[in-house]
Amino acid sequence: MKNIKVLGSGCKRCQQTEEMVRDEAARLGVDVSVEKITDYAEIASFGIASTPGIVVDGKVVHAGGLPKPEDLQKWLVA
């Protein structure tokens, strides 16, 4: 199971990023645990200054703006 953290304040882009992660995981048949992190101190601890951010199994893979679908696929199947 992939452990995914979506980092962001809860803005529309952050919500959309979480939906994109869940939808792509379901489409690929990848078992994921998605956690939403909204605490600014915790977000900063990942070294992210621009949200939304995505952390996959403890590694920051994305920060700022919406992720590309092909990138999501790469992160989820790696």
Active site residues: 11, 14
Q: Rounded to an integer, what is the distance from CA 12 to the centroid of its chain?
A: 14
Beta pairing partners, 56: 4, 59
Report how far residue 46's alpha carbon sits from residue 7's, in angstroms, rounded to the nearest whole number: 9
Closest CA to 72 of 12, 19, 36, 10: 19
